[in-house]
Amino acid sequence: MFVARPDARTAHAIGVERLLSSYRAVPANAPVRLAKPTSNLFRTRTRTSAPGLDTSGLTGVLAVDRDARTADVAGMCTYEDLVAATLPAGLSPLVVPQLKTITLGGAVTGLGIESTSFRNGLPHESVLEMDVLTGAGEVLTASPTEHADLFRAFPNSYGTLGYAVRLRIELEPVEPFIALRHRRFHSVPELVAVLDRILETGALDGMTVDYLDGVVFSPSESYLCVGFRTATPGPVSDYTGRDIYYRSIQHEAGTIDDRLTIADYLWRWDTDWFWCSEAFGAQHPLVRALWPRRFRRSRTYSTLMTYEQRFQIGDRLEALKGLPPRERVVQDVEVPLERTAAFVDWFLGTVPITPIWLCPLRLRSAEGWPLYPLAPHRAYVNIGFWSTVPIGSSEGETNRRIERKASELDGHKSLYSDSYYSTEEFDRLYSGEAYRAVKQRYDPDGRLLDLYAKAVQRQ
C-alpha cells in the first residue's frame, strides 16, 4: 500500500473533529454551509456573512492502495491533488472531471463527467463507501449495504443531505501517454453516427478507445476527440503555454493525430477553462505572453468571474456601449444519444453560443441514481455551453427555453448553475418524493438547505 502521508489519517481525524465542532457552533436557526476557498457552482446565490463549517483538515489523500486499486480521500480534496497522488502509482480515478479545483466530494454530490464516462459512468459510480456529515450532525458511513438510501440519494443532492468527509473510490491503471485522434465531421448527425458505433464496439479503426469527447464549432464543423493509452515514448504537445488545446483540434478534413502525457491530457481543458479564458483576454497572443503560466488555470478565471459578478463589471461595460445587461447561460444537459443531433441543431439555430462540448456517458449501475434519473444501459451525451447571450424580455428567458427543450427530448439538466423550474416540474425531474424521504431521515430538523431552495431559489 502506498500511503500519501504517514500522518494523513491522524490529520484527517483531527479535521473531522474540527468540522463537527464548527457544526455544533452554528446556531440552530442559522444556515449551515461549508467554508470553501473555491467553488465550481455558477448559481446566483444569496450572500451571507455567516461563518462556514471548517473543512481545513479535509483536503488530503489518505492512502492509495496499489493492489486493491482504491484510494481513501478526504471530501474536500481537489482532483489536482488526488491525481498527483495516484499517477505515480500508475493509477487514476475512473473519471477525472476536467477542472483542477473540483473536489471529490463536490463531484459526487454535484455530479461530474469527463471523457471516460462513456465506459466508467459518473464519478459517484466509482465510490465504494463514504463518511457523510448529515444534517443531524452525525458522521455516518454510507455504502451500497450501509445507509444505502443515503448512499444512492447523495449524488445530485448538492450538500442538502450532508457533506462527504471521506470517500473510498476505485482506481484504474493508466499509461504514461495518451495518443489522440481528432476526427472532423461536416454534420452533427454524421458525428453522432460514428459516436454510436464507438459506444457499441468500444473501438475506432480497430483500436480500443479509452477516452472520448467532442466539440461542435458550427453545423458544418464538429470533432470527435478519441484517446488511446500508450506506453510508447515520443514527442508530446504542450498546451499550458502559448498553444491552445481546443484550437489544436481544428483542421479542414479527415483526421489529425496528437500526443500528450497522461497528466497533461487530464488537465487539457483546465489551462483555458475549455475556451472561456478568451473572455479575460488570455488567448490574445500579447496578453498570453505576459500572463504568467501558473495563472493560466481554471482557479484564476473562476476568481476573476466571481469579482465580475460581484461588481457587475460586464453589465457596466455593456451599459457604456448603450446595451442592456446580458443573460448568463452556463449549463450542461444530458440528452439521449439518438436525440443529440436534434438538440444541437435546435441549439445552434436558437442560442448564439459556440463552441459547445460533447461528452458521451453511460451509467455503470443497473439500478440508476434517484436524484438524477438517467436510464441504465442507455447512452447519453452531455452537451456543455458556457457564455452569455443578449437578455430577453423576461428573467432567464434563454435558460428557460433550454430547460424546456432538454425535457422535451427526454434529457436532464445539471443543477450547478441557474435553474428556473416550478416546484412541480422540479419534483418530477429530480425525484422529489424520494428526496424528501431521505431528507427527513438524515436531516429531520432541516439544518441544511432544501434542494429546490438551493438549486432554483438560490438561497
Q: Which residues contact 361 (CB under 8 A, 6 or more apart)?
A: 113, 117, 118, 121, 122, 334, 374, 379, 380, 381, 382
CB 199 within 8 A of CB 337: yes
- C-alpha cell of 234? 515520443
CB 332 within 8 A of CB 361: no
| Cα 287 to Cα 158, 246, 278, 296, 300, distances in angstroms | 37, 18, 10, 11, 15
Distance, CA of 243 to CA of 250 (rounded, Å): 13
Q: Is the pTM of this model over 0.75?
A: yes
**Per-run averaged pLDDT (10 residues), the chain, 459 residues:** 66 93 90 72 62 88 96 97 97 97 96 97 98 96 98 97 98 98 98 98 97 98 98 96 97 96 98 96 96 95 88 83 90 98 98 98 94 96 96 93 98 95 97 98 95 91
Q: Per-residue b/e over 389-421, b at no fewer than 16 CB within 10 Å? A: bebeeeebebbbbbbebbbebebbbbbbbbbbb
CA 263 to chain centroid: 18
Output the pLDDT for position 458: 81
CB 102 within 8 A of CB 40: yes
Output the pLDDT for position 50: 60
3-state SS class at 51: coil
DSSP state letter for 435: H
- C-alpha cell of 147? 445507509
- C-alpha cell of 10? 491522524
Helices 188-201 and 340-350 cross at an angle (nearest 10°) of 150
271 closest CA partner among 304, 301, 250: 301
Residue bearing cell 477516452: 211
Burial of residue 327 (number of CB atoms within 10 Å: 0-12, 13-18, 19+): middle
Which run of H or E residues covers position 9? helix 8-24
- Whether omega for the bond prior to residue 373 falls within 30 degrees of 0, making it cis, is no
Structural domains in the chain plus CATH codes: 8-174+444-455 (3.30.465.10), 177-268 (no CATH)
CB 242 within 8 A of CB 285: yes
Distance, CA of 95 to CA of 117 (rounded, Å): 6
Output the pLDDT for position 40: 64
**From the CB of residue 262, how many other CB atoms can be counted at a distance below 10 Å?**
20
- How many CA atoms within 13 Å lie on the side-chain side of 38? 21
